Amino acid sequence: MTHTTPGERALASLTGLALGDALGMPTQSMSRAQIRADYGTITGMIDAGPHQEIAHGMPAGSITDDTEQALLLAEHLIAGNGEVNVTEFAHALLAWEADMAARGSLDLLGPSTKAALERLTAGVPASESGKFGTTNGAAMRVAPIGIAHPVDNIADFVDAVAHTAEVTHNTTLGIASASAVGAMVSAGVAGASLTEALDIAVAAAAEGEKRGNWIAGGSISHRLRWALNWLPTVPVSEREDALYHVIGTSVASQESVVAAIALASLSEDPWDTLCLAAGLGGDTDTVAAIHGAVLGAVHGPDAWPSDAVELVTRVNTLNLPHTSEALLALRSR
């Protein structure tokens, strides 16, 4: 058990999400080779470089869609006193993308979310719009659910996750991956150790696989169990290769979400592994954002350097203490 308070761990989770997102902003969707050529080893937040197409020109510390969608979900949770009107949330996501596009940003909705919302706009009901969503969009934004809902009853917790995932990621893969991340955050906020939180994440993924539309793909819970057992057997010098080449870091839930949690299981210094996640290649902003959210919940505020927290807060005008306090108040209803 940790000696920090639930409030501190809730704030550290949202902070870790934003920090990981900002660290991965300049490297997102790039190969490991290109990241190394442009930036070398990632040791802190940096400006987007010349080969960064999605976030071109963005300054060091800038967050992306991962944090922005998580905070949008938090707003709807708070406004709904713990409940989310998924249709209203879907339209809020559409409005968010329209605003981003108007500002000339290429950091828009992910493939599953985009396709689901197009179906919703075309008249498909919310219960059906997300029936093909398998990527990591629901997992990247789920941390507020983990703060607002206890995971004492895993089935009830997964029901809450599945409800918010329904409109965009109503599949076994989408719900299971979001359930794993959300449950790990919730367990951490409650004071669970890293080992305890990992066990709860796997159990929640298994429960999540009972929900949603079945889609062919590697089981999230089985891949988590395998990765958590296998990665420690890999020599430290080869683990980045193992994460990148074997587990994978693409937008697929069974790659990026598993990679983020598996890396968290071996973290001795949260900031160091957060920087490592940002340099892996692939969907780095999401891998690092998930990694930061779960480690922040488990370790609390001491996980994150104060100068990095100040930078990401200032650059993005964030008020994470207000959001985390409001979410935590829902948990004690």
Binding residues for Mg(2+): 64-66, 283, 285-286
Of 113, 228, 83, the residue nearest 178 (C-alpha): 113
DSSP class per residue in 207-226: HHTTSSB---S--HHHHHHH
The C-alpha atoms of residue 207 and residue 154 are separated, in whole angstroms, by 7
**Annotated binding-site members:** 64-66, 283, 285-286
Of 1, 6, 4, the residue nearest 185 (C-alpha): 6
Which residues, 6+ apart, have CB-to-CB distance to 217 below 8 Å? Answer: 134, 173, 252, 253, 254
- Measured at the CA of 304, the angle between CA 299 and CA 307, to 5 degrees, comes to 165
Of the chain, the end-to-end C-alpha distance in Å amounts to 23
